[in-house]
Amino acid sequence: MPEHPLSRRRFVAAAGATGALVAVGLPDAAHATGQPADPARHERDAWSARHFADPRHDSRPTVYWYWNGPVTPELVDRQLADLRSKGMYEVILFSFDNAEMTPVFFTEEWFDIVGHVLRTAERTGMRVWLFNDDHFPSGRAGEFIVKGGQVGTRTYAPRPELRLKALARSTTVVRGPASIDLRHSTGLGVDAGRLVADAAVLDGAAVLRDSTGWGECTVTGSAKAEHGAAGLLVRASADGRTGYAVAFDQTGVVTVERLTDGAEPAELLRSTRTDGFNKTKFHTLRVALRADGLSVTLDGKDKGTLEDLTERTGGVGVRAVGDQRAVWESLTVEAADGTSLYTGSFDRSAAAGDFPERALPAAGFTVAAAAARPTAATAATDVVDLTDRLTGGHTWQVPAGEWQVDLFGGVLLADDSQGYSRSYVDLLDDEPVELFLDILPGEYHRRFGRYFGTVVPGFWDDEPFFASAEAHFKRLPWSPALDRALRTVGVTPGTAYAAAFDDLGRSGRIARGNYWKAVSDRFATAFRKQAQWYEKRGVALITNPLYDETAPAKRIASTGDLHKVNQWAQVPGGDIITAEYVAGEPTMIPRNPVSVAHQMGRERALLEMFGNMGWQVTPGFVHATVGAQAARGVNLTVLHALWTDESRVYFPPPFGPRAPWWWAMRPLAEWIGRVMEAGRGTSAARTALLQPQRAAEQWTGTDRQQDVDGPLAEAAYALERAQVDFDLLHEGALTRDPALLAHAEVRKGRLAVGAAAYDLVVIPRTPVLDADGVRVLREFVRAGGTVIAVGALDTEEADGGDRTLAHALSDLFGDRVPARRSLGRGHAVRVADTG
């Protein structure tokens, strides 16, 4: 963005003035001072009173155009003409892919109507951004990767193995010295204090050790059926092939089946559904075993009784078959006389060792790593990575003592045929991403390439995700590509996966942080591939990452490192939807895409606004929201949304005839255009707020996550209250993270990060810092810059070098708080944390 000294706040205020004010001119400060390197770009982007009075088409709002019903040439012509009459000339063509939408996505009829849209846009001076999938979130390629199908002249074979994958664990406990086969394990693992029975890993039943002689007893388990059903096995043989399988499904139906070795299960009992059953909650399944019968209750409700059981004794276990997956909070077995036979609370990962090991299923669980540690170990430094032993003999000589041995690998996530996760692919892996590009954008280019770069400026990418995303599966992510990515960031797979599952102290947090860093790097690679593919064809990528509105540590599980994602976009973006903004309140939502745009030299930074905010949205709120984001650097507004079938507005407010104030839309669109014109100069922000990314990676998902996110937001809002504009400075820019494009360099007394440069850096309170970054900041201060640190500097070093960090901080700031210290030509300041 070219240099522009007039503050955005004055610009936004000026945008509300009349054309007469523009005609007499603005103060001299409104004119650009720096000379852009490209004179042609200067003509396009520099401040222009003419453009302010009559905003360019691409400064006026772009409209999300949901195709949620029948789309005909007549409807296209009418809706596009209506938008033009309201002063808007750009749309994002977005398939909603509901049952009522016609033509069917990616049929010949679909391409016919898209062709009509593009011809109409070309004739009338409009532009059409294309959504890169059939429905949000992006990442299924219209289901053609997983299910296969015909697209134009190309036939794609089904590739279900490229679906989204999660990290799974199977744990056994062994006593050494001994020699073990690493291919044998329990098929069970503990995750966050819960025993996981996943058919992909277990594929059958696991029966408690030494339980086959149990007779009359009561078995009680608290479980949640995450997919399919949660099941127990009672009166079981040691291998789990015979016995009585008792399970409840996601509607509260209880079944009892008799298992016989070599025969199909025989259903003996099926209850009715449970009214008001909540499948997202844990439920108590209780099986009372008498000498020759059993009775079952679910949450205390009678679900049936069986008499004349063949077996009078047998073991107790858990079972998962087909696509079932359940998590168990507790499992207890009590004898008829009240004696406790077994109590499992699963607060230790070694608790899975209460079940015997066996050969794991050949399919379903792709074993990728192995690790062992003493059962009493509390640190990642105690972990022995056995991944390299999974080839060859698959054996390990167990040292003396009791050892927990973990197998880690990938499982395909159960497909959801209805929801947002249907046919979703592994975006951490190159092959599905390349297929995605060939199928969706590739087919658009093969058919409509002549419009690329003119009528079609680019593609919209919408809220893609990986396995741990909060909105979807909430499972640790895995991909075949992670092995190399982990080694690249300096951690072995077995150690990283062990630390991802368990609290292994300080060294475990470092390994865990590297796991999330590797995941983020792989996810960002999908955006790199997209951006480079589009750029070669003369079009741009718009990013709209999932949960971009959340803070750095919180969002890692859903969208990774947002900076690494947005850096690849020709138009970095995000959204502000639902209840994410309150007029007049501070917000961090635009800061990341805007900061990336400044540092990457991108002209535009985008926000999609108002989706699902409700019918109560008024023009006044639109002014307040757009103005607030523009003051923070947004200069491309996308309005959510115009619907082709306005009788079905799924996420109000509509930006179309059903909006009660649609008649007044033209002056509002022109106002938005002026505000966007005002922001198309280069940011004058000379302050950078350090984003402590290593802390975010190490503490994400823990009870100290807010210790990273809270102080960052507090520092940001303090700067806003002081009317100081700022960008976010990714910590990796200081440490030359190879996955970042823009690295920090000290130049002429300023800290240059790509196309941006800063005079002042603020370090928020943070539990972790990288010492290499502090050294760069010291160089910056000595050259004439200013660094301000908030609060106590009792911070851990990101790689364990606490003494090195302490010396670096002391050399830079001294030891007093508050204090101001001159160093070279600059200043280092410490301020007390009053938050």
Radius of gyration of the CA atoms of the chain, in A? 30
pLDDT number for residue 37:
33
Which three-class secondary structure state does DSSP give residue 581?
coil
The alpha-helical segments, DSSP class H, found in 567-618 are 591-600
Instruction: Please state, in angstroms and rounded to a whole number, the distance separating the CA atoms of residues 44 and 16.
Output: 23
Bridge partner list, 372: 384, 405
Q: Is 278 exposed, middle or buried (0-12, 13-18, 19+ CB in 10 A)?
A: exposed
- Whether residue 177 has a cis bond before it, omega within 30° of 0: yes
Q: Determine contact, residues 727/689, Cβ cutoff 8 Å.
A: yes
Q: Which is nearest to 200 in space by CA: 355, 322, 369, 359?
A: 322
Q: CB neighbours (10 Å) of residue 237?
A: 18
What is 687-831's CATH topology? Rossmann fold (3.40.50)
* Ranges under pLDDT 70 in the chain: 1-46, 416-418, 835
Contacts of residue 699, Cβ cutoff 8 Å, sequence gap at least 6 = 509, 553, 705, 707, 708, 767, 768
Contacts of residue 265, Cβ cutoff 8 Å, sequence gap at least 6 = 245, 257, 258, 259
Q: Can you give the three-state secondary structure of 2-34, one letter per residue?
A: CECCCCHHHHHHHHCCCHHHHHHCCCHHHCCCC
Q: Give Cα separations from 50 to 55, 639, 643 (angstroms).
A: 8, 24, 33
pLDDT number for residue 469:
92
Torsion of CA 487, 490, 494, 498, to 10 degrees: -140
Q: Per this entry, what is the length of the chain? A: 835
Q: Which is nearest to 367 in space by CA: 388, 384, 352, 353?
A: 388
Long-range contacts, stretch 273-282, CB < 8 angstroms, 24+ apart:
274/298, 274/299, 274/301, 277/250, 277/251, 277/252, 279/224, 279/225, 279/250, 279/251, 280/224, 281/224, 282/222, 282/223, 282/224, 282/329
Q: Determine contact, residues 337/215, Cβ cutoff 8 Å.
A: no
Instruction: Please state, in angstroms and rounded to a whole number, the distance separating the CA atoms of residues 597 and 587.
Output: 18
- At residue 791, what is the residue type? G
Q: Give Cα separations from 74 to 96, 115, 116, 334 (angstroms).
A: 19, 14, 10, 72
pLDDT number for residue 1:
39
Strand order in the sheet with 366-374: 165-181, 395-412, 366-374, 384-385
**What residue spans in the chain does CATH classification 2.60.120.560 cover?**
193-348
Q: ∠ at Cα 623 (617, 628), nearest 5°? A: 110
pTM of the predicted model as reported, rounded to 2 decimal places: 0.93
With b for 16 or more beta-carbon neighbours within 10 A and e for fewer, the 395-416 pattern comes to: ebebeeeebbbbbbbbbbbbbe
Q: Give Cα separations from 798 to 331, 455, 507, 772 (angstroms).
A: 39, 48, 10, 10
Q: Which is nearest to 390 in space by CA: 416, 364, 372?
A: 372
Instruction: Please state, in angstroms and rounded to a whole number, the distance separating the CA atoms of residues 33 and 12.
Output: 20
> For residue range 135-148, what is the model confidence (pLDDT) as tens digits?
999 999 999 999 99
Q: Give Cα separations from 225 to 267, 353, 752 (angstroms).
A: 19, 22, 52
Which three-class secondary structure state does DSSP give residue 395?
strand
**What residue spans in the chain does CATH classification 3.40.50.880 cover?**
687-831
Q: Is 5 exposed, middle or buried (0-12, 13-18, 19+ CB in 10 A)?
A: middle
pLDDT number for residue 681:
85
Which three-class secondary structure state does DSSP give residue 150?
strand
Look at strands 458-462 and 127-131 and give their pairing: parallel
> For residue range 89-119, what is the model confidence (pLDDT) as tens digits?
999 999 999 999 999 999 999 999 999 999 9
Q: CB neighbours (10 Å) of residue 625?
A: 22
Q: Determine contact, residues 372/194, Cβ cutoff 8 Å.
A: no
pLDDT number for residue 10:
36
Q: Which is nearest to 409 in space by CA: 305, 492, 345, 494?
A: 494
Q: Determine contact, residues 300/228, Cβ cutoff 8 Å.
A: no
Q: Which one-letter DSSP state was computed for residue 533? A: H
Instruction: Please state, in angstroms and rounded to a whole number, the distance separating the CA atoms of residues 30 and 51.
Output: 14
Instruction: Please state, in angstroms and rounded to a whole number, the distance separating the CA atoms of residues 774 and 813.
Output: 11
Bridge partner list, 129: 92
Residue 253 CA to its chain's centroid (Å): 34
% helix / strand / coil in the chain, to the nearest 5? Answer: 30, 30, 40
Phi, psi of 74 (to 5 degrees): -65, -45
Instruction: Please state, in angstroms and rounded to a whole number, the distance separating the CA atoms of residues 755 and 770.
Output: 24
What CATH class has 193-348? mainly beta
Q: ∠ at Cα 701 (505, 488), nearest 5°? A: 70
**215 token code pair:** 């007779």
Element (H, E) at 454: none
The backbone region for 438, taken as left when phi is positive above 0, alpha when psi lies in -120 to 50, beta otherwise, is: alpha
**710 token code pair:** 């809270």
Q: Determine contact, residues 457/540, Cβ cutoff 8 Å.
A: yes
Q: Give Cα separations from 751 to 169, 564, 592, 757 (angstroms).
A: 45, 20, 18, 5
**379 token code pair:** 């640190």
**202 token code pair:** 């277990």
Instruction: Please state, in angstroms and rounded to a whole number, the distance separating the CA atoms of residues 308 and 311.
Output: 9
The label of the residue with tokens 């368990």 reads 502
The alpha-helical segments, DSSP class H, found in 164-223 are none
Instruction: Please state, in angstroms and rounded to a whole number, the distance separating the CA atoms of residues 447 and 639.
Output: 28
Instruction: Please state, in angstroms and rounded to a whole number, the distance separating the CA atoms of residues 682 and 538.
Output: 24
Q: Which one-letter DSSP state was computed for residue 375? A: T
Instruction: Please state, in angstroms and rounded to a whole number, the distance separating the CA atoms of residues 162 and 170.
Output: 22
